[in-house]
């Protein structure tokens, strides 16, 4: 964190240690740092005024991993803590970046538009069409994995947002003139790497107890199911991996 006057680390922040690849430790260290900073500010009125000005300049916590949407500026704000592999890395192949970070941004923008302003441009016909697509997506979950039951109607809006994000990011990647080369020693095309990057970014470890809770009340499906649902519903994925047969087509809800 830099001081706007000196453009160097302020004295309060010199003892804040941030480690790459250790988010949980960084959260604990940030909490300890905030405690020390508050103690210093109680004894230093000038420091209190300086920090108050800094707080007004920052709109999101440095240790947050949740991107936010600023409706007034029509901007997605992504905290630095979220810009870590496998979500984001400048060292990755461009296709992997579009598949992971690009799909995330596409999903967030779609969700924000749907939640913040969707009712402004929907008429009765588009509402009915949306409900039909959500119903189709909800009915696809039992066929994806019978051992991971979820409440289809609750998680269907998330599935639609995932599909929107993947589709938008893939089209953006296709329009980019860069990043179409293969990785040395691998047979995957750049388009296939895109979807590999998307799936890799959704990797997670989940306890059995959380799976049981998911099946009852969660509006978010396990990421394994989210990946399977989004890719099975993506015609671009089907064309890329040559799985556009009649059986494949019969599963597509044409939601996007």
pLDDT, tens only, 127-173: 788 889 899 999 998 888 877 778 899 999 999 999 999 999 999 99
More confident residue, 127 or 45: 127
Calpha distance 5→13 (Å, rounded): 15
For the chain, what are the domain ranges? 17-48, 81-251
15 pLDDT band, cuts 50/70/90, is confident
89 pLDDT band, cuts 50/70/90, is confident
Which pLDDT value is given to residue 9?
47
Q: What is the DSSP string of the chain?
A: -B-TTTSSB-GGGTT----TT-HHHHHHHHHHHHHHHHHHHHT-HHHHHHHHHHHHH--S-TT----EEETTTTEEE--GGGS-TTT--TTS-HHHHIIIIIHHHHHHHHHHHHHHHHHHH--HHHHHHHHHHHHHHHHHHHHH-TTS---HHHHHHHHHHHHHHHHHHHHHHHH-SS--SPPTT----HHHHHHHHHHHHT-----HHHHHHHHHH-SS--HHHHHHHHHHT-HHHHHHTT--SHHHHHT-----
Mean pLDDT for the chain overall: 80
More confident residue, 98 or 44: 98
- pLDDT (average), residues 67-91: 81
Which pLDDT value is given to residue 62?
65
8 pLDDT band, cuts 50/70/90, is very low
> In this structure, are residues 215 and 151 in contact, taking their beta carbons and an 8 Å threshold?
yes
103 pLDDT band, cuts 50/70/90, is very high
Q: Architecture of domain 81-251 in CATH?
A: 3-Layer(aba) Sandwich (3.40)
- 206-255: pLDDT as tens digits: 887 777 777 777 888 889 999 999 999 999 999 999 887 777 777 788 87
């Amino acid at each position: 964190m830099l001081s706007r006057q000196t453009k160097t680390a302020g004295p309060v922040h010199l003892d804040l240690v941030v480690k790459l690849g250790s988010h949980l430790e960084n959260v604990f260290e940030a909490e300890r740092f905030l405690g020390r900073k508050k103690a210093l500010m109680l004894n230093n009125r000038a420091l209190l005024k300086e920090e108050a000005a800094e707080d007004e300049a920052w709109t999101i916590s440095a240790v947050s991993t949740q991107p936010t949407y600023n409706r007034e500026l029509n901007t997605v704000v992504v905290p630095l803590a979220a810009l870590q592999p496998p979500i984001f890395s400048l060292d990755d192949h461009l296709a992997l970046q579009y598949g992971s970070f690009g799909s995330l941004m596409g999903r967030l923008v779609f969700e924000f538009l749907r939640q913040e302003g969707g009712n402004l441009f929907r008429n009765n016909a588009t509402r009915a069409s949306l409900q039909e697509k959500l119903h189709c997506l909800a009915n696809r979950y039992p066929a994806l994995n019978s051992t991971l039951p979820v409440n289809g109607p609750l998680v269907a809006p998330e599935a639609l947002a995932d599909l929107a994000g993947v589709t938008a990011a893939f089209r953006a990647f296709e329009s980019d003139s860069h990043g179409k080369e293969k990785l040395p020693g691998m047979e995957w095309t750049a388009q296939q790497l895109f979807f590999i990057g998307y799936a890799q970014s959704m990797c997670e470890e989940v306890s059995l107890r959380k799976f049981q809770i998911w099946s009852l009340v969660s509006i978010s499906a396990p990421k394994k199911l989210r990946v399977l649902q989004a890719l099975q519903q993506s015609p671009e994925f089907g064309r890329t991996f040559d799985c556009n047969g009649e059986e494949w087509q019969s599963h597509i809800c044409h939601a996007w």
